[in-house]
């Protein structure tokens, strides 16, 4: 599925592939009266590609195969109760949390702004590539 604009909330059982322009950047203006910034996918997401940025959202999923975010991530949470196979963040990650039970591959091209309140939480990060120093990484078991 391809949505070229901003998505504020999406709640399907599972998604094979989703490409969106941005996630949450326009706030609740793209939703009805009862909209929220929390998306709950009870199953898994095969591939999620976000061409722009992510702001003020929570995305909950059982698993994510491939996650690619080209823009900045600000004040948001990616909460994966199972496996996050591959995640690439091209922009800065600020005031946000990326949590998964396991992560196979994580690439952060501009780093994690840990001083700004961002954190990585997971049971394992075997393949980590980031330009930030190891002193800025914060890991803890879920």
For residue range 90-136, list pLDDT tens digits in order: 998 888 888 888 888 888 887 665 545 555 555 544 444 443 333 33
Measured between alpha carbons, how far is 141 from 139 in angstroms, rounded to an integer? Answer: 7
Phi, psi dihedral angles at 108 (to 5 degrees) = -120, 105
Q: pTM for the complete prediction? A: 0.79
Q: Where are the alpha helices (DSSP H) in the chain?
A: none
């Amino acid at each position: 599925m391809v949505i070229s604009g901003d998505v504020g909330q999406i709640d399907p059982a599972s998604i094979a592939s989703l490409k969106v322009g941005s996630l949450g950047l326009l706030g609740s203006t793209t939703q009805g009266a009862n909209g929220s910034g929390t998306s709950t996918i009870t199953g898994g997401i095969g591939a999620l590609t976000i061409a722009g940025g992510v702001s003020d959202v929570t995305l909950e999923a059982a698993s994510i195969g491939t996650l690619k975010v080209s823009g900045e991530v600000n004040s948001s949470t990616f909460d994966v109760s199972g496996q996050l196979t591959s995640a690439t963040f091209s922009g800065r990650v600020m005031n946000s949390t990326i949590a998964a039970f396991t992560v196979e591959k994580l690439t952060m091209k501009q780093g994690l702004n840990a001083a700004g309140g961002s954190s990585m939480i997971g049971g394992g990060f075997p393949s980590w590539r980031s330009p930030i120093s190891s002193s800025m990484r914060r890991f803890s078991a879920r």
